[in-house]
Amino acid sequence: MSQPVHLVILITTRPGRGGDQIAAFERLAPIVRAEPGCLRYDLHQVTGEPDRFVLVERWSSEAALAAHDVTPHMTEADAASPAFRAGPAEVIRLDAAPLA
């Protein structure tokens, strides 16, 4: 049986562009959350740092994540985000089951 996939993604926007990240997420979130296998898709603001965010994703399987990555809305979002992001997001993939 396939394992869930857990991602923690660190995002930094260009100075003063955090609002663009939030707006993009607000458009995207309901679409992504409706995708098959999406268990969690939450963007958190880093406290007191308006240009830093952590996106937490959880998918039911590798296949669900792979399908998500090539959806038209993600292709479009990936093309748009460099305009307001300071650099590529840092994607940290975690073993889904916590230790201990």
Positions that interact with a copy of itself (CB under 8 A): 6, 8, 10, 22, 25-26, 29, 42-48, 52-54, 56, 92-96, 98-100
The helix/strand/coil state of 30 is helix
Question: Tokens 């995708």, residue?
Answer: 35
Give least dist CB 100 to a copy of itself, A: 4
Pairwise CA distance, residues 41 & 67, whole Å: 15
Q: By C-beta, is 83 or 94 nearer to a copy of itself?
A: 94
CA nearest to 13, candidates 82, 92, 91? 82
CB of 50 to a copy of itself, least distance (A): 11
